[in-house]
Amino acid sequence: MSEVKEQANLSRRKFFIGSAAFAVGAVAAGATVAINPKVVAAAAPPLPFPYQILDVDLVRRRGYDYYFTGGCMYTVAKALMDTLVETVGAPWDTIPADMFKFGKGGAENWGTLCGALNGCLAIIELATGNDAETIGPELLGWYGTFPFPSSAHEGYCKVPNQITTISDSPLCHQSVTQWSVAAGDRISSAEKKDRCAKLAGDTAAKAAELLNQWKLGTFVAGYKPDADTARCFPCHVGPTSRKDNVQAQMDCLECHTDRVNHQLRRGK
Amino acid sequence: MSLELKNYDRRNFLKNLGLLAAGAVVSTGVGSLVSPKTVQAAAPALPWAFATLDTAVIRRRAYDNYWISGCMYASAKALLDTLYETSGAPWNSIPADMFKYGKGGAFNWGTLCGALNGSLYVINLATGTSVDQLGPELIGWYTTNAFPSNLMDFYARFTAVKQSVADSPLCHISVGKWADLTHYEINSDEKKDRCAKVAADTAVKAAELMNAWKAGTFSGVYVPAAEFASCLSCHNGAASQLDNEQGLANCTECHDDGKAPHM
């Protein structure tokens, strides 16, 4: 009701506030009127949404299974949200998992941000609010240094014992292409899909681990860029850097091995 | 209520949640209210209905929103607020704050431009599976559009700003090229103004595509440029010869340096 009162002063929204007031008023008056969730959805509560400790293994398994329904971004978001609905309840059921389907293949297969990361970051934002500023980068950093896929899915996966690769990047393009080249499997193969299903399960599980730590008050950010990339940042990244002319936190030397003027090379 | 529901198996919990909420209202009768803080309606299925959008309103809102919490928040909130005003619920059930993570290509990592990310979410909500046609069109447009437009010059903090074409959906390349061109620092007010305009231009383009889709006139026009279309035919897609590359962005932005043996 307080939200209704606050918003009543917003002239452009009077029509909609009036509609909501009618619906609430009808219930209060004793009429046997059920609010149809398909028509009158509640206004979104402020962040962070309530959170309780999640079963990481359950999230991992769901993150693997749902991949085959709607891709990497969908699967991590749905795995986390379904588990949050079961563990916490509302308002976690107000976010439609289908809205995350665009993120597959790094956003409609464009190879940008890995959908597993994109979906997890959204849930982290919902669960932790402003603390996502420290938890999100930790997940991004972990992703770039982890050998995907883990062996934690061997008991139920379609293609066991797969080769692992480290992407050094949060980009789907690097992550998938490097694995495909190393494994000798085509991007459209069942083997690659199984790899990405496992990666999604692993990333959702990691997000749940970080969220659990945050909930317990034990979260400590541990990711740091490797020494080669760390050398780039003081000159190029951030308002206090000398040039402040690069927008990124990724591993610079994944791409800039031969184009920068000072010819940095990994390990030199 | 959540403790009671833990006794149900997981499928029954999800299946019955809406029925329990509705039943509580009916059975408790006079004076009982379903608190939106504790029992929320389940999310309606996609696509969500919407009325044709006013792109000028969205442009202004996205520009203004940027200064609150960055590009992804700006584009998503501009679209969501306008959708709620013109189409009502359930467009008010998505908290715009959840899109704050996308700024600077996801917490400043320089990946997917947040203006694209936020717009893609809303297109997905509004068009359901048609996002698979509208989404790539928006991304393709972004990579070839000269940003920022001058359509905000009568209220923007900076006017007559130089334009650059990203040739990429990545924040890193989009912002980096513009900064190289203008010599403004990434954390300068001039760059922030540029990205506020990018967020607005992109949200408007998303609204235009949604309006066209709603009117039944949407037709994708983006095609990859010749310089990398030949790459895709060998490397990208199930029908390609090698099918060993994931991505639809301009290959030559990065692969013009001898890393590929045949270049």
- Residues A153-200: tens digit of each pLDDT: 999 999 999 999 999 999 999 999 999 999 999 999 999 999 999 999
Residues 233-252 of B with CB under 8 A from A: 236-238, 242-249
- Asked if the model's pLDDT at residue A5 lies above 50, the reply is no
- Residue A24 pLDDT grade (very low, low, confident, very high; cuts 50, 70, 90): very low
Q: What is the pLDDT along chain B (263 residues), one digit of tens a residue?
A: 333 233 333 333 333 333 333 333 333 333 333 333 334 458 999 999 999 999 999 999 999 999 999 999 999 999 999 999 999 999 999 999 999 999 999 999 999 999 999 999 999 999 999 999 999 999 999 999 999 999 999 999 999 999 999 999 999 999 999 999 999 999 999 999 999 999 999 999 999 999 999 999 999 999 999 989 989 999 999 999 999 999 999 998 888 755 555 65
Rounded to whole angstroms, the Cα distance separating A242 from A237 reads 8
Residues 4-23 of A with CB under 8 A from B: 12-13, 15-16, 19-20
Residue with the bigger pLDDT between A161 and A11: it is A161
Rounded to whole angstroms, the Cα distance separating B69 from B92 reads 19
Looking at residue B261, its pLDDT comes to 58
Looking at residue B143, its pLDDT comes to 98
Rounded to whole angstroms, the Cα distance separating B196 from B48 reads 27
Looking at residue A182, its pLDDT comes to 97
- Asked if the model's pLDDT at residue A240 lies above 90, the reply is yes
Which is it for the CA torsion B21, B22, B23, B25, positive or negative? positive
Which chain B residues contact residue A82 at CB under 8 A?
A: 10, 14
Residue with the bigger pLDDT between B113 and A42: it is B113
Rounded to whole angstroms, the Cα distance separating B20 from A37 reads 12
Mutation to test the A interface, candidates B37, B112, B250, most A Cβ within 10 Å: B112
Q: What pLDDT digit, counting tens, does each position of A63-78 carry?
A: 999 999 999 999 999 9
- Residue A261 pLDDT grade (very low, low, confident, very high; cuts 50, 70, 90): low
Which chain A residues contact residue B108 at CB under 8 A?
A: 247-249
Least confident among A33-37, A121-125, A153-157, B108-112 = A33-37
Nearest to B41 among A37, A82, A177 (CB): A37
* Residue B142 near residue B116 (C-beta atoms within 8 A): yes
Mutation to test the A interface, candidates B7, B14, B107, B232, most A Cβ within 10 Å: B107
C-alpha separations of B132 from A101, A193, B48, B50, B124 in Å = 9, 19, 16, 18, 8
Looking at residue B103, its pLDDT comes to 98
Q: Mean pLDDT for chain A?
A: 85
Looking at residue B15, its pLDDT comes to 38
Q: What is the DSSP string of B34-79?
A: --TTTSPPPPPPSSPP-PPP-HHHHHHHHHHHHHHHHHHHHHHHHH
Nearest to A247 among B1, B131, B175 (CB): B175
Give which of B192, B130, B193, B202 is closest to B166, Cα–Cα: B202
Q: Helices (H) and strands (E) in chain A — how many of each? A: 10, 0
A69 interfacial to chain B (CB closer than 8 Å): no
B106 interfacial to chain A (CB closer than 8 Å): yes
Tokens 């972990």, located at residue: A142
Q: How far is B257 from chain A (nearest CA, A)?
A: 7
* B181 burial level (CB within 10 Å; 0-12, 13-18, 19+): exposed
* Residue B211 near residue B87 (C-beta atoms within 8 A): no
Looking at residue B2, its pLDDT comes to 34
Looking at residue A255, its pLDDT comes to 85
Q: How far is A139 from chain B (nearest CA, A)?
A: 11
Q: What is the DSSP string of B203-235?
A: HHHHHHHHHHHHHT---------HHHHHHHHHH
* Alpha-helix runs per DSSP H in A53-114: 56-65, 67-87
CA torsion A99-A100-A106-A107 (nearest 10°) is 0
Looking at residue A229, its pLDDT comes to 87
B28 interfacial to chain A (CB closer than 8 Å): no
B41/A42 Cβ within 8 A: yes
B13/A121 Cβ within 8 A: no
